[in-house]
């Protein structure tokens, strides 16, 4: 009678744990804080939340049962792969379960002639390419986290990488997805056969940020390894000329295997860190890669060199050996850790803009650096206009973090204003959910909710991510009005 009732969350936790325990091994169900703390955030460490519990099933049947239990008890689920995501998509919910597919690590089948590999969602992106290398094949999408990120996470985010322009995104390289609906029913999207019947739900499922169903098996398309690849490093004394060179290459009818751009703050940070051989006196450098047969690569490299010279490149260097090619790329691939070396923290943005707006956006970012009194270095997939500005800040200084967040939103909303999008490949997650209110109107968001509820009527799968509610957008709108004026008043919103 006089005993104090346990807090409601603890009751909920007890209820969930006792419902899941009968079919999960002891080490496959975690709820003590010391066990669940590694799951409190994903690659976006600024956003943290402890979950109610974490489940690590090993079989599809266990996933089915977990979904049925959560559906019955109305417990929200946050799916998790390797936890490398950069938008907080796998950030837990206080009253929810984290459902990790880390134990789904089997490569089920490789068919070198059909060029397919059937893998479980916990298989690392790079592990697929490693496993099929003996057949001279590889899996094309290569997000910079490919050494650690899982294919299940790639499916949820529609991940890209540096070779997307030529080889496509996850969407273009995943043939079928086997998944489990919240009801516990097993389904398949897409297929090894082309053009699956019905509406194209495969396209909607890929990139749905864990909000529609749980992935349990992914047959991917494999691509023959090009015989040779070479990369040109081109220097420019002006960012505008570098941006124009990107457009000129495409206009010349060339689709480079990779086309990356880095500004001077980025090349300087990287050069100190990995000694990639970058021209640190250039205002910007471009990396242009060609791959294919030796004859094809020779032809394309000489064409691209001519275009780059005509566009005003001050210096060109073509990789002469595979080692040198990898050295050139090592700088680009280490840009994020290099930012980490020169600043206590960095905040990575992911907007995409039409290529012709590259120099415009870079100039605007320059202005924002003084406005928010923070430094920013820029690396981007120039070939597809996908920018990764890295805002440098000190997380120990709360005011700096708040300014970094504001700086980030400003960049994203500028991307929308320039005809682009707030996220090219990292996903919306929790991080960019407010910016979704700027990119989409109420009608579009209404349809997004309709899609969500068609799969998940009770909104239990990764709720509160990716698609903002009407209320959230209304609140964001009020918050963003400063001095009686919205930033970017020209954008129609709400």
Considering only residues 89 to 148 of the shown chain, the ones binding another protein according to CB under 8 A are: 111-115, 135-137
Kindly state whether residue 65 participates in binding another protein, applying the rule CB under 8 A. no
Which of 425, 434, 476, 493 binds another protein (CB under 8 A)? It is: 425
Cβ–Cβ under 8 Å, residues 187 and 153: no
Q: How far is the CB of 428 from another protein (least distance, A)?
A: 6
Binding to another protein in span 329-358, by CB under 8 A:
352-356
Which of 42, 260, 289, 300 binds another protein (CB under 8 A)? It is: 300
Q: How far apart are CA 428 and CA 491, in angstroms?
A: 19
Kindly state whether residue 406 participates in binding another protein, applying the rule CB under 8 A. no
Binding to another protein in span 449-478, by CB under 8 A:
449-455, 457, 466-467
Which of 10, 133, 192, 470 binds another protein (CB under 8 A)? It is: 192
Three-class secondary structure of residue 390 per DSSP:
strand
Give which of 226, 242, 249, 233 is closest to 319, Cα–Cα.
233
Q: Looking at beta carbons only, is 265 or 463 nearer to another protein? A: 463
Kindly state whether residue 11 participates in binding another protein, applying the rule CB under 8 A. no
CA distances from 270 to 81, 330, 331, 341, 378 (A): 29, 9, 6, 9, 11
Q: Looking at beta carbons only, is 329 or 455 nearer to another protein? A: 455
Which of 444, 481, 491, 494 binds another protein (CB under 8 A)? It is: 444
Pairing of strands 137-138, 223-224: antiparallel
Which residues 6+ apart lie within 8 Å of 366 measured at CB? none
Binding to another protein in span 20-59, by CB under 8 A:
none
Kindly state whether residue 250 participates in binding another protein, applying the rule CB under 8 A. yes
Q: Looking at beta carbons only, is 13 or 208 nearer to another protein? A: 208
Exposure string of 62-75, with b = 16+ CB inside 10 Å and e = fewer, is bbbbbbbbbbeeeb
Question: Residue 235, CB half-sphere, CA atoms under 13 Å: how many?
Answer: 14
Kindly state whether residue 248 participates in binding another protein, applying the rule CB under 8 A. yes
Pairing of strands 77-80, 97-100: parallel
Which residues 6+ apart lie within 8 Å of 230 measured at CB? 289, 290, 291, 297, 301, 318, 319, 325
Tell me the Cα Rg of the chain.
23
Q: How far apart are CA 161 and CA 164, in angstroms?
A: 6
Q: How far is the CB of 102 from another protein (least distance, A)?
A: 23
Exposure string of 283-303, with b = 16+ CB inside 10 Å and e = fewer, is bbbbbbbbbbeeeebeebbee
Stretch that binds another protein, among 33-41, 57-65, 225-233, 331-339 (CB under 8 A): 225-233
Q: Looking at beta carbons only, is 170 or 264 nearer to another protein? A: 170
Which of 12, 80, 178, 241 binds another protein (CB under 8 A)? It is: 178
Please give the size of the binding site for another protein, defined by CB under 8 A: 100
Q: Looking at beta carbons only, is 56 or 206 nearer to another protein? A: 206
Q: Looking at beta carbons only, is 1 or 193 nearer to another protein? A: 193
């Amino acid at each position: 009678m006089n005993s104090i009732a346990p807090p409601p969350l603890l009751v909920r936790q007890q209820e969930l744990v006792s419902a899941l325990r009968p079919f999960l091994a002891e080490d496959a169900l975690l709820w003590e804080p010391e066990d669940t703390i590694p799951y409190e955030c994903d690659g976006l460490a600024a956003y943290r939340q402890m979950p109610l519990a974490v489940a690590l099933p090993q079989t599809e049947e266990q996933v089915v049962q977990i979904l049925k239990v959560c559906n019955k008890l109305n417990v929200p689920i946050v799916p998790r792969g390797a936890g490398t995501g950069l938008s907080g998509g796998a950030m837990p919910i206080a009253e929810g379960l984290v459902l990790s597919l880390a134990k789904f690590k089997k490569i089920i089948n490789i068919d070198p002639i059909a060029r397919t590999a059937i893998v479980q969602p916990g298989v690392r992106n790079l592990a697929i390419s490693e496993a099929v290398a003996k057949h001279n094949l590889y899996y094309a999408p290569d997000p910079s986290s490919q050494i650690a990120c899982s294919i299940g996470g790639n499916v949820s985010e529609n991940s890209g990488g540096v070779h997307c322009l030529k080889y496509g995104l996850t969407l273009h390289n995943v043939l079928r997805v086997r998944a489990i609906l919240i009801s516990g029913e097993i389904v398949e999207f897409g297929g090894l056969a082309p053009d699956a019947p019905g509406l194209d739900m495969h396209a909607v499922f890929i990139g749905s940020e864990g909000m529609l169903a749980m992935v349990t098996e992914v047959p991917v398309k494999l691509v023959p390894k090009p015989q040779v690849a070479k990369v040109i490093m081109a220097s420019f004394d002006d960012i505008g000329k570098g941006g124009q060179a990107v457009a000129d290459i495409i206009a010349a009818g060339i689709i480079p295997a990779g086309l990356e751009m880095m500004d001077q703050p980025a090349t300087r940070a990287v050069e100190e860190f990995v000694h990639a051989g970058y021209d640190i006196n250039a205002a910007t450098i471009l990396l242009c890669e060609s791959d294919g047969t030796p004859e094809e690569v020779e032809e394309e490299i000489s064409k691209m060199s001519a275009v780059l010279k005509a566009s005003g490149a001050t210096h060109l260097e073509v990789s002469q050996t595979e080692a040198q090619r990898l050295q050139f790329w090592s700088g680009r691939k280490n840009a994020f850790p290099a930012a980490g070396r020169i600043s206590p923290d960095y905040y990575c943005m992911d907007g995409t803009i039409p290529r012709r707006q590259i120099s415009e956006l870079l100039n605007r970012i320059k202005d924002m650096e003084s406005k928010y009194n923070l430094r920013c270095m820029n690396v981007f997939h120039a070939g597809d206009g996908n920018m990764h500005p890295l805002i440098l800040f000190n997380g120990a200084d709360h005011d700096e973090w708040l300014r970094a967040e504001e700086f980030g939103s400003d960049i994203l909303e500028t991307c929308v204003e320039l005809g682009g999008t707030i996220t090219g490949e990292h996903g919306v997650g929790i991080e960019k959910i407010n910016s979704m209110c700027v990119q989409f109107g109420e009608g579009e968001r209404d349809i997004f909710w309709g899609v969500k509820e068609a799969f998940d009527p009770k909104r239990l799968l990764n709720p509160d991510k990716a698609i903002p509610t009407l209320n959230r957008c209304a609140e964001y709108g009020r918050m963003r009005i400063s001095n009686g004026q919205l930033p970017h008043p020209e954008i129609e919103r709400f």
